[in-house]
Amino acid sequence: MLKFKIEDIEYKVPEFINIENYVKIYKVKDLFKDEYFAAKVVSIVCDAPLQDLLDTDYEEVYLLAAEIMGSLPLEKPQFIDRFELDGVKYGFFPNWKDLTFAEFVDLDTISTKKPEELLDLMHILAAIMYRPILEERSEHDYTIEKYNVDTMKIRAELFKKKLDIKYVLGAQFFFIKFVSRYLSYSHLSSMQNLSIWMKIKMVWNLRKWIWAAIRRSKKSTDGTLSSTKLLETILQNTNMSTTKQ
């Protein structure tokens, strides 16, 4: 763990960026155009007074900021379907055909938010997508806790403070991949210029078709598909649904 001192007070650069600090970083006005961006990043992540950092050697501040930003998975973050936090094992949706109506409604509600509002909901999104693993049959075949809004809120606050942002970004990228593949399968490919959040919103607004497609896939799969195979199965069935419509 990287450490540094300002006026004999020691500060630590955490080994990863949690959801809360990630949101704070990307709320910095004008982001990289902000002339104090480097100092603000270090202040946010290391809990060091901003004024003290402004009075510190600029090279040291820039090096610290570079170290912090370098820990963020900025390009195509890896999708990770499970992790352990505070002794509890969490897993991503292992079986899309078992998603409940409540999960769809909550995800749909989040997807209707503006991009700047979505930042404040990332911990909630993570808590919906990842839940405690109750039973393990293999590394990627498991049963997770039934969706419950009350426990989700508690988990969201834990994730906000302690969860590495890479898990959320990876899961988000999974959905983006889904949208891109969906567009290539459908007549909506002409909408490629839409913002990615508009694309995600569009897919969730078509959840009835997706829901029907998932139910059909239940008859032909055992629920242990890889993420890529899962996308293929859902997209092929969804394409059939939209064609009929």
Which secondary structure element, helix H or strand E, spans residue 131, and what is its range? Answer: strand 130-138
Select the more confidently predicted residue: 125 or 156: 156
List Cβ<8 Å contacts ≥24 apart for 87-93. Answer: 88/132, 89/132, 89/133, 89/136, 90/130, 90/131, 90/132, 90/133, 90/144, 91/130, 91/131, 91/132, 91/133, 91/142, 91/144, 92/129, 92/130, 92/171, 93/129, 93/144
For 5-9, the CB contacts below 8 A with 24+ separation are 6/48, 6/49, 6/52, 6/53, 6/56, 7/52
24: pLDDT strictly greater than 60 = yes
* CB-CB neighbours of 227 under 10 Å: 15
Nearest to 159 by CA among 92, 106, 95, 112: 92
Give me the sign of the Cα torsion angle 157, 163, 166, 172: negative
Structure confidence at residue 10 as a pLDDT band (50, 70, 90): very high
Mean pLDDT confidence for 58-70: 89
Residue 135 banded pLDDT, cuts 50, 70, 90: very high
pTM of the model: 0.70
pLDDT per residue as tens digits for the range 164-200: 999 988 887 776 565 555 555 555 444 455 555 455 5
Highest mean pLDDT: which of 1-15, 101-115, 219-233? 1-15
Least confident of 20-29, 72-81, 120-129, 223-232: 223-232
pLDDT at residue 244 in the model: 41
The tokens for 106 are: 């909550």
Question: Position of tokens 């239940």?
Answer: 218
